[in-house]
Amino acid sequence: MDKLEEIFRMQEALNARIGVTLPPPTEEEKTKWVLNYTRAMQQETAELIDSVPWKWWAKYQKFDEQNAKVEVVDLFHFLVSLAQTLGMSADDVYQAYLKKNAVNHARQESGYVKKDEADSRHI
Ligand SMILES: O=c1ccn([C@H]2C[C@H](O)[C@@H](COP(=O)(O)O)O2)c(=O)[nH]1
């Protein structure tokens, strides 16, 4: 089985155990879960920041690479749930990634001197 598809399936199973079925049926519920998952990701991002010595005034901090990797995986859990909240399958994410990656390369090709919001509308 494709690894991304397996991750999506495992995340669905974990979320079901927690009592959450995605995508939510109403726009109101979708809004709630977008906010829940983005807030959870902000928290995990803060924990990732704390895994590196970011405090320029303190000397006690260490680079905890092992913990940083765990935080990345925690973030991935919530990012996959966020995609599922918006009704995206593993293949939807893959296809959108391909298209957006091509846009990013085209932007580099052209020097990216102007922001063109319309260049991503086809994704
Ligand atoms: O609805 C949820 C809630 C939590 N987690 C997972 C993601 C992280 O791996 C971990 C974060 O929880 P704490 O370790 O911060 O308790 O739980 C989910 O996948 N879905």
What domains, with CATH codes, occur in the chain? 3-88 (1.10.287)
**Which residues have CB under 6 Å of ligand 1?**
14-15, 18, 20, 74, 77-78, 81
Residue with CA closest to ligand 1 atom 20: 15
The predicted model scores a pTM of 0.96
Q: What is the pLDDT of residues 19-42, one digit of tens each?
A: 999 999 999 999 999 999 999 999
> In the structure, what pLDDT confidence band is assigned to residue 111 with cuts at 50, 70 and 90?
very high
Q: What is the pLDDT of residues 56-101, one digit of tens each?
A: 999 999 999 999 999 999 999 999 999 999 999 999 999 999 999 9
- Ligand 1 centroid to residue 9 C-alpha, Å: 16
Dist CA 62 CA 53 (whole Å): 6
- Looking from the CA of residue 20, the nearest atom of ligand 1 is 1
- Looking from the CA of residue 73, the nearest atom of ligand 1 is 9
- Ligand 1 centroid to residue 120 C-alpha, Å: 31
Bond into 23 cis (ω within 30): yes
Residue with CA closest to ligand 1 atom 10: 74
- Ligand 1 centroid to residue 110 C-alpha, Å: 41
Terminal-residue alpha carbon distance, the chain: 26
- Ligand 1 centroid to residue 83 C-alpha, Å: 15
- Asked if residues 43 and 71 have their Cβ atoms less than 8 Å apart, the reply is no
* 117 pLDDT above the threshold of 90: no
Dist CA 89 CA 95 (whole Å): 10
